[in-house]
Amino acid sequence: MKVLCAMSGGVDSSVAAAELLAAGHEVVGVTMRLWGGDSDTGCCSIADVDDARRVAQQLGIDHLVFNFTDDFDRHVVEPYVDAHAHGITPNPCIECNRHLKFARLSERADLLGFDAVATGHHARIVEHGAHRYVARGADEAKDQSYVVHMLPQRELARTLFPVGHLTKAEVRRRADAAGLRTAHKPDSQDVCFITHTGGREQFLGDRIPFRAARVVDADGVEVGAVDAVELVTIGQRRGIGLPGGGPKRYVVDVDVAAARVVVGDEHELYVDTTRVAATTWAADAVAGEVLVQCSAHGEARRATVRVEGSPDEGSPDEVVLDWFEPQRRVAPGQSVVLYDLMNERVLGGGIAR
């Protein structure tokens, strides 16, 4: 089988390419140039491209570089900035996976005559009945099923996760045994377009005007102030202009239009229901009991799903999650992913409202 393997310059995608070769596939490596601005972190630096190219040389495979910077700006960077301007906390890495690392890469693979695409994500693809599903990777601590939850049936049928059955330790062992230059390279865990030196504040401040905001309690009494309401998110405790020494207070609401941040005790963060918009399903829409994960490495919690709208395979729906036990409110804009009761297969996912 002819496979186009995404190579980010990290150890996981390096071993993914090696595993495909060992399985007898015809493999071509590809690195996607996504962010064209300053980068001292993430997976888009010149050094990362060079690492991917050199690993491809070590493996004896061709290496391509695709320039998707315009698509990245349109689908990831611009929505990220716009979300903050409206008091929403986005998840840019998931949108990058959705629009670039799978959809856009798959389109290019079709044009070039590849049978499949592969990545180094720690996830698996399993069959259940007549459908395929993303499933959790073998390494619980490194599982990335949450960040690739959006894959539809067409993508699931032609995507490979060659390291999904391996632990991270085994991935590094195989890379070391093969002498790959990325064997001991640290994992990248940051947003590629947010630099360590400037951070989120500088990145957004260069693109949108910041507005100062009042910080008030549940009764509307002003208790502090922030310089940029666009940088505040639900659940935040630090950096909200409150005097020290008092009880812990958390952000429970952000109103950008009114330039107001509401704070309260931790118990005020807990809710009985969560509304999820733009929900897509791996196969058929699901109603009833599920397990729900609300962050990349958060614990899955039990809830009952109520679907609103007209469910249809692959179409976005709005759902309501009724939690078995009250849960901390999910910041609007964050991804909410639904798993089966075995906490194994991804059933669908959407965006918290």
Known catalytic residues? 96, 192
113: left (phi over 0), alpha (psi -120 to 50) or beta: left
63: left (phi over 0), alpha (psi -120 to 50) or beta: beta
> b or e along 269-297 (b: 16 or more beta carbons within 10 Å of the residue's beta carbon)?
beeeebbbeebbbbbebbeeebbbbbebe
Give me the amino acid identity at 119: T
Distance CA 216, CA 147 (A): 35
Q: Within 13 Å and on the Cβ side, how many CA atoms surround 252?
A: 17
The set of residues, in sequence order, having a beta carbon less than 8 Å from that of 114 and lying 6+ positions away, is 2, 3, 4, 28
Helices (H), 190-278: 199-205
Distance CA 49, CA 47 (A): 5
